[in-house]
Structure 1
Amino acid sequence: MVLTQLPRLKKWLIRFIILVLSWVVIFWVGAHLFVPGFIKKSASEFGAKIGYDIAYQDLSISPLRLKLELDGFHIAKSGGSKLLEFKKLVITAKWTKLVLGELGFDEILLVEPKILVEKKLSMGAHPGVWNWQELIAAVEKSMPPKDPGEPNKPLKISIDELLVSSASLSLLDNSTKLKEELKPFTMKLLDVANYDKQGVVSGVRGQYDFNLGALQVLVPGINKTITYQHVAIAGGLDNPQPGMLGVQLNVKLDDGAIRSHWDFNTDSKSVDGKLELENLAIAPLVALLPANKELTGKSGAINSALTMKFGPEADIFAGDIHISDLTVLEKDQKYPLIVWKMADIRQFEYKSLKSKQASSSSLSIDELIIDSPILQFEINEDGFSNFRRLFAKPASVQKTEAADGSKSKDASGFNLDIRSTNLKNGEVFFSDLAMRPHFKVDIKKFNATLLGVSNTPGRFATVAMDGVVAGSGSMRAKGQTSFDDPRRNHDILMTFRNLPLTAFNPAVMTFAGYQIASGRLNLNLNYRAKDGELNGSNQIIIKKVVLGDEVPDFTGKKLPLGLAIALLEDSDDTIDVTVKIAGNVDSPEFSASGLVWQAISNVLTNIATAPFRALASLIGLGSEEGINAVPGEAVFLAVDQDRLEKFGEYLIKRPNSSLEIIGTYDPVQDRKELARAKADSAVLKDAGFKLTPGEPIPVPSLSDPRVQSGLKSAYAQYIGRIKLGQRLLTLPDGEQRNEQLHNELIAGIGITDGELKELAKARAKAAYGFMIKSDASLKDRIQLGEVKTVEAGKEGIPLDVEIRIK
């Protein structure tokens, strides 16, 4: 039975095969002959409908293999630039996916695509829009409206491999004059799908690989360019659960790499990330520093492990950073600005809190270590340091920030906390080009430790530093400072030992007009500032100084260094002086170095013009007016007697100097007061009082009967008895008569110029006696000079001296 039906079955089978082959041939012929033309015509008509030119050169379809090849495609707005064009597009679909109702692709290959993203200038009050925004809006406008009642079943899409080769991207924004081009780059995506592993359409997952080639990008806003020679991006996407998207992002930048994983939570609107930097070159990033002049990086690499969290309430960064072999140069400069061998930032956390009222941020670091740092610190001819020139904001910006300072400070805050900072084996090269010749000094083997650095008001950090200065000298510092405002609050003690004075020749030549041939310098500096009020003590110890030649054609204020050395240097060839300064650091004209130099300059100038005043200041006797005699008398008050004795003791240890004491008098003040002294002396003696030699003559009490008797006797002696009798008869007895007699007695005593000169000589002899009191050997080094006239001061008649080199 079956055998009889075989010919009939065979016949129907042949007919079925012929029918299938016929349909295949018809489908193949239609796909090759009719479909390409139909698609091309439809694309052109659709483009014209939305105002765009859509065209291609050739379309090839392989229906059995589900493969499409499109050559020479472009899309452009009518009369405008091309938004997209490419050389070839190859798409291969998968039968197995189509059968299951999924749009699945085995491979998509895009060759030499060129993409233009452009934003043209706005017309009128309307803001400009991007060209792709215009295209999307035109397409959406041409589409028929959706039926809201029609169920929307998501379409599953998957791509096994997407490869883009030799691509280029142009970004133009005419409103901001942004013009960037990225080319050529490649991109590879593997196993891309819009559904998770359970088949639920929820997002995008897959593996990707971008090869961007050389990358040069102008960073908007700061107008700086970042450049890498080879850039590649790889990674993957996954959807571990609804509302979650995981992204693995690995970036290759030249010889360095950035590996990261990011978890996006759409429910909590937060992002968690882990970031690893491996041998990432710093040189391309140096150009991004906010400097006024271009900086270049010659070397340096970052290695780091970080965790990040971005959320609606706070952003947090934490981890460790290691930066090795850093070298940064200022453009057109020969020597590096900053160099270090290694820098470690350990256990840091940066937190930014978000609030509707105000935002705040904090940075905490457990340990900051910098090994072998080298710093170039230079002051130019105009007196500005290289760091000020590089990083100071323009004056207009500073004024604006100052005006808004209080407001911004209230609106936001930044808290800094660095538990430990260590600088090891560093070098600082300092130069001041404003001096002639240029001043240069270096500090090597520089070490510094700072504990508890914080900008919290009221908190102080402990500071300790040491180093080798100018080859043979040493530097050491310790103390504390408030990093909330270190200029206004600090207490620092610095000591310098065995510094070569010749290293400071440029400063001495610039400000004093001399050279130093040899000598060593020690400094003890103590500076304390509280709420801006600074008090500084500068102990200067100079050993075996030898003064060199004068600077030819010196135009400044030449200081008497020779006299100063002779007067200040002791028997051990040592000068030991202390200069104190005080001031308010908030004052616009405040300069600590300026105050120190002004104080030293004043002392050195006074050594020639007012030696007693200079010495009193240097050895701490507390007199700004020098030594003063009592007007009208050859007498010095006890405090000035003590100063004269101490000056004598001081000179004993200064064998290289000699002194000439010059007696002085004021022709007006002394004439009046000498008459008073003579009158009062006569009154008191006639009254029976004994006067102590060397002590000021006291003012007699006219209410004392003994003084009244002495007044009459002195009046009769100097004015005359007849005149006295007339006054006693015509004037009523009492206080008024006594005062008149006293005044007439003083007025009646005439003082000659000779008497004034003798008064001046007596003053010089009295001062001489006090100064040689401690050691008679000073008699050969202290001489009496010719008297001179002076103007009385508020403290009396100033004694004058001249210093001479022995």
Structure 2
Amino acid sequence: MLSIRNHRFQVWGLRIAATFLILAFLFWAGCHIFVPGLIKKSVTEYGQRLGYEIAYQDLTLSPLRLQIELNDLHLSKEGGNTLLEFKKLLVSLKWTKLVKGELGFDQILLDEPKLLVEKKLNTWNWQEFAYAIEKNLPPADPKAPSKPIKISVGKFLVSSASLALVDQSLKLKEELKPFTVELLDVANYDKEGDVSGVRGRYDLNLGALQLLIPGINKTIGFHHISLGGGLDNPSPNNLGVQLDLKLDDGQILSHWDLNTISKEISGKLKLENIATAPFIALLPANKELLGSSGVMNADIGVTLGGDSDRIAGDLHLSNLAVIEKGEKTPLITWDAADVRQFEYKSSKQANDHSNSSLTIDELIIDHPSLRFDINDQGMSNFRRLFSKPAADAASPENAPLVNKTASPEFKNTFGLDIKTLGMKNGEVFFTDLAMRPNFKVDIKKFNATLIGVSNAPGHFATVAMDGVVANSGSMRAKGQASFDDPRRNHDILMTFRNLPLTTFNPAVMTYAGYQISGGHLSLNLNYRAKDGQLTGSNQIIIKGVQLGDEVPDYQGKKLPLGLAIALLEDSDDTIDVTICIAGNVDSPEFSASGLVWQAISNVLSNVATAPFRALGSIMGMGGENGINAVLGEAVFLPADQDRLEKFGEYLDKHPNSKLELIGTYDPVQDKQELARVKADTAILKDAGFKLEPGEPIPAPSLTDPRIQSGLRTAYAQYVGRIKLGQRLLMLPEGEARNDQLHTELIAAIDISEDELRQLAKNRAQLAFSLMTTENPGLKDRINFGDIKTVEAGKEGVPLDVELRIK
């Protein structure tokens, strides 16, 4: 009985096994022979409905292993470019996840994908593809219950990928290849099983990257880029992202948290050994700039969203070197720059107003080095590199931006506040190629401290600087400046000591036509500007100047430096002059250095042509018209008398020059006025008036009976008694008769050439007396030259003088 049952069990077991094998074979045959063809046909038909071509080479199904392999897929729009193609796609599922009702992938492997992202007009190619799919989806049943599907991927790997980005409107065409992407343990639910976001770990290897930045037409490149990190859901309303970006030998470690309700993003970034060289090329320069070195480290916190955006932290830039392409020496370098406790805030206000601010607790730059050049056209390297061409600045494209910013409806405000800004042990290398020979001077051991730097209106920062100039000289500066507009509001005192004059030979040779063979220069410069009105005082002290040879074939205006030195140098071989300037910095043609040089040039030019005018400028006495005698008299007015006395005092202390006083007269006006003076002198004396020597002869008042008596006496003496009697009988008594008698008296006095020359000689003698009375040592250094005729001006008859070297 038992054996019969065992036999039946065996038979039924064999039948069941055979049936299972037959069904498995049929399933396998269907999956490998019939299903792939059916799927391929369906995919092709679906692509045609979408207006796209979807084709692939092979499809392999492994139902027992829940694995699908797809080879050589091609997706393109009919008559258009290929959107996507890849060599191989391998997808395998997990039985354990499927049993739980979860779409769980064990792995997804994509080999050699090529992706095209292209924008034509205002639409991207993938937007068109998504829209085509959406149109062919069956309508959703709003009453049908919807339950989110749990999706998880154990491993997602993309290898040897390439991405092409094309934007015709921006003329952008970039390709990223080859790169890899690896995602691990990715899921759309949190640890409690609630479908609320995405979590997992990922790794993206982009390889080398050369990327053109749209808008500025500049390229940024790295030899190796990889991105790693993870996704997590710390709470139902928060999504966390860990981004670890490696750029060549550096990395940026960051963690970001997104609040899905408030949409606020907060993050922490740590920059480690990020090379600055790739970013230097992005600077908005007119010529390519290269970063030959430089490393950046930082700890930064970021908050985006809400009422304002905030970025804060510390930043350290070390060993920076920026060089202009084609140049041998760097444009700027420094050993280290520390930005400590900076905070940038930006907030949107009503009516499109935006407020932003940057505060820095301390900015310290160690050993900065700057190359400042002026080319042979007179343009500095920084202006050449960073200034906008005039045509661009006035272009219509820029006009709307300016108008928008200035309009009351749109206003952006930016606040800057730096508590301490310091530079230590810096260097500045200055070269002026516009001078022949080229002018070069270095400033080393340069230190600067600025406290309270702010662009708030009316706020002034304290400034202090010092350094070594031309290896042996020194410079110091102190004062304050308003960084809201430092050019219009400042009060700065700068001192330079012991600068070797030979350093400035190119400037002297270019602008004065001489060489300097020795001597030292010191400067005391004080500049004050309030609301654009500038006043400047330039004290120039030169010790032991030695004038060299003239520049051969000099084409410019040669200045009389030899005479100037003789006039200005005192007994200690020191020249001490002060040049003052004033002007409005808002004027388009304003230049402080130009005003100073013009003032110096005027003084030096006047040394030879108008020494008294030059002395007046040097001594701050004015006197643009020199020294002038009263017409017809050997008399100088009190102001000119005072100038002559002070000039004598000045010359007595500057013993290296000699003067030659030259008496002058105007042959026309002096002849007329000398006749008047002789007539009026006779009238006043005959009238009993006492005349003070050295004082101008006053015009007599013809209404005074005493003057009338003196007029008749003088008339009788020079014209004749008979003529006087005729006039008294024929002309009615009164003002008209007195005027006619006075006129005829002057006309009757004949002035000879010798009298005019004696007048000129007396004028020179009087000037000599005024200059030497209190300074008798000058008597041996002042001579008299030949008499000269001149043309009188509105101030009188100019006294001529020549300066000579002793």
Which category describes the TM-score, using the shorter chain as reference length? over 0.9
Larger mean Cα displacement after TM superposition, 260-269 or 739-748: 739-748
Residues 1:373 and 2:368 aligned together: yes
Q: 1:569-648 counterparts in 2 under 5 A?
A: 569-648=569-648
Please point out which of 252, 263, 268 is paired with 2:257: 263
Q: Which amino acid is 2:92 matched to?
A: T
Please list the CA deviations of residues 247-304 of structure 1 after superposition, one character each: whole Å capped at 9, or x if unmatched: 1111000011111111122322221111111110000000000111100000001111
Please list the CA deviations of residues 99-141 of structure 1 after superposition, one character each: whole Å capped at 9, or x if unmatched: 1111101111111111111223xxxxxx342222222222222
Residues 1:148 and 2:148 aligned together: no
d(CA) in 2 for partners of 1:533, 1:730: 68
d(CA) in 1 for partners of 2:631, 2:332: 65
Please list the CA deviations of residues 469-505 of structure 1 after superposition, one character each: whole Å capped at 9, or x if unmatched: 0110101111111111111111111111111111111
Residues 1:393 and 2:374 aligned together: no
Q: Which amino acid is 1:399 matched to?
A: A
Q: 2:356 corresponds to which residue?
A: 361
SS at match of 1:633: coil
Q: 2:189 corresponds to which residue?
A: 195
Q: 1:408 corresponds to which residue?
A: 405
CA RMSD of aligned residues (A): 1.9
Displacement after TM superposition at 1:364 (Å): 1.1
Q: Which amino acid is 2:311 matched to?
A: F
d(CA) in 1 for partners of 2:778, 2:347: 76
CA contact (8 A) 1:312 1:354 kept: no
Q: 2:651 corresponds to which residue?
A: 651
Q: Gaps spanning 5+ residues in structure 1: where?
A: 121-126
d(CA) in 2 for partners of 1:720, 1:338: 93
Q: Which amino acid is 1:508 matched to?
A: V
Please give the TM-score of this superposition, normalised by the length of structure 1.
Answer: 0.96
CA contact (8 A) 1:532 1:586 kept: yes
SS at match of 2:394: helix
Larger mean Cα displacement after TM superposition, 313-322 or 240-249: 240-249
User: Do the aligned partners of residues 366 and 11 (structure 1) sit closer, same or farther apart at CA in structure 2, a change above 3 Å counting?
Assistant: same
Q: 2:87 corresponds to which residue?
A: 87
Larger mean Cα displacement after TM superposition, 632-641 or 52-61: 52-61
SS at match of 1:381: coil
Q: 1:462 corresponds to which residue?
A: 462
d(CA) in 2 for partners of 1:355, 1:198: 41
Q: Which amino acid is 1:395 matched to?
A: A
Larger mean Cα displacement after TM superposition, 252-261 or 76-85: 76-85
Residues 1:451 and 2:446 aligned together: no
Please list the CA deviations of residues 599-651 of structure 1 after superposition, one character each: whole Å capped at 9, or x if unmatched: 11111110000000000110122211111111111011222112112212222
Total equivalences in the alignment: 800
Q: 1:765 corresponds to which residue?
A: 765
d(CA) in 1 for partners of 2:170, 2:574: 68
Q: Which amino acid is 2:285 matched to?
A: A
d(CA) in 2 for partners of 1:784, 1:113: 102
Displacement after TM superposition at 1:25 (Å): 3.0
Displacement after TM superposition at 1:198 (Å): 2.1
Please point out which of 337, 342, 349 is paired with 1:348: 342
d(CA) in 2 for partners of 1:225, 1:775: 76
Q: 2:310 corresponds to which residue?
A: 316
d(CA) in 2 for partners of 1:151, 1:747: 130
Displacement after TM superposition at 1:308 (Å): 1.2
Q: 1:775 corresponds to which residue?
A: 775
Q: 2:269 corresponds to which residue?
A: 275
Q: 1:124 corresponds to which residue?
A: none
Residues 1:739 and 2:739 aligned together: yes
Larger mean Cα displacement after TM superposition, 111-120 or 760-769: 111-120
CA contact (8 A) 2:420 2:449 kept: yes
Q: Which amino acid is 1:363 matched to?
A: L
Please give the TM-score of this superposition, normalised by the length of structure 2.
Answer: 0.96
d(CA) in 2 for partners of 1:404, 1:670: 68
d(CA) in 1 for partners of 2:76, 2:584: 69
CA contact (8 A) 1:103 1:156 kept: yes
Displacement after TM superposition at 1:543 (Å): 1.0
Q: Which amino acid is 2:387 matched to?
A: A
CA contact (8 A) 2:170 2:215 kept: no
Please point out which of 159, 171, 174 is paired with 1:177: 171
SS at match of 2:723: helix
Displacement after TM superposition at 1:402 (Å): 7.7
Please list the CA deviations of residues 731-761 of structure 1 after superposition, one character each: whole Å capped at 9, or x if unmatched: 3333333333223222222222221111000
Q: Which amino acid is 2:185 matched to?
A: D
User: Do the aligned partners of residues 3 and 674 (structure 1) sit closer, same or farther apart at CA in structure 2, a change above 3 Å counting?
Assistant: farther
Displacement after TM superposition at 1:422 (Å): 0.3
d(CA) in 2 for partners of 1:406, 1:74: 51
Displacement after TM superposition at 1:219 (Å): 0.5
User: Do the aligned partners of residues 2 and 594 (structure 1) sit closer, same or farther apart at CA in structure 2, a change above 3 Å counting?
Assistant: farther
CA contact (8 A) 1:317 1:349 kept: yes
SS at match of 1:71: strand
Q: 1:49 corresponds to which residue?
A: 49
Q: 1:59 corresponds to which residue?
A: 59
CA contact (8 A) 2:225 2:245 kept: yes
Q: 2:228 corresponds to which residue?
A: 234
d(CA) in 1 for partners of 2:746, 2:255: 104
Displacement after TM superposition at 1:170 (Å): 0.8
Q: 2:481 corresponds to which residue?
A: 481
Q: 1:668 corresponds to which residue?
A: 668
SS at match of 2:754: helix
d(CA) in 2 for partners of 1:264, 1:711: 111
Please list the CA deviations of residues 668-713 of structure 1 after superposition, one character each: whole Å capped at 9, or x if unmatched: 2211211121111111111112211111112223333222221221
Q: Which amino acid is 1:622 matched to?
A: G
SS at match of 1:25: helix
CA contact (8 A) 1:108 1:161 kept: yes
Q: Which amino acid is 2:544 matched to?
A: K
Q: Which amino acid is 1:115 matched to?
A: L
Q: Gaps spanning 5+ residues in structure 2: where?
A: none
SS at match of 1:615: helix
d(CA) in 1 for partners of 2:643, 2:399: 50
Residues 1:245 and 2:229 aligned together: no
Q: 2:442 corresponds to which residue?
A: 442
Q: 1:779-790 counterparts in 2 under 5 A?
A: 779-790=779-790
Displacement after TM superposition at 1:787 (Å): 1.0
Displacement after TM superposition at 1:5 (Å): 7.0
d(CA) in 1 for partners of 2:403, 2:48: 60
d(CA) in 2 for partners of 1:431, 1:562: 28
Displacement after TM superposition at 1:34 (Å): 1.9
Larger mean Cα displacement after TM superposition, 295-304 or 62-71: 62-71
SS at match of 1:240: strand
Displacement after TM superposition at 1:509 (Å): 0.7
Q: 2:208 corresponds to which residue?
A: 214
SS at match of 1:739: helix
d(CA) in 1 for partners of 2:660, 2:2: 154
User: Do the aligned partners of residues 700 and 108 (structure 1) sit closer, same or farther apart at CA in structure 2, a change above 3 Å counting?
Assistant: same
d(CA) in 1 for partners of 2:448, 2:285: 26
Q: Which amino acid is 2:229 matched to?
A: G
Q: 1:31 corresponds to which residue?
A: 31
Q: 1:417 corresponds to which residue?
A: 417
Q: 2:328 corresponds to which residue?
A: 334
Larger mean Cα displacement after TM superposition, 55-64 or 660-669: 55-64
Q: Which amino acid is 1:267 matched to?
A: I
CA contact (8 A) 1:237 1:246 kept: yes
Q: 1:673-684 counterparts in 2 under 5 A?
A: 673-684=673-684
Q: 1:123 corresponds to which residue?
A: none
SS at match of 1:239: strand
d(CA) in 1 for partners of 2:5, 2:682: 174
d(CA) in 2 for partners of 1:499, 1:175: 58
Identity %: 69
d(CA) in 1 for partners of 2:615, 2:489: 32
CA contact (8 A) 1:536 1:581 kept: yes
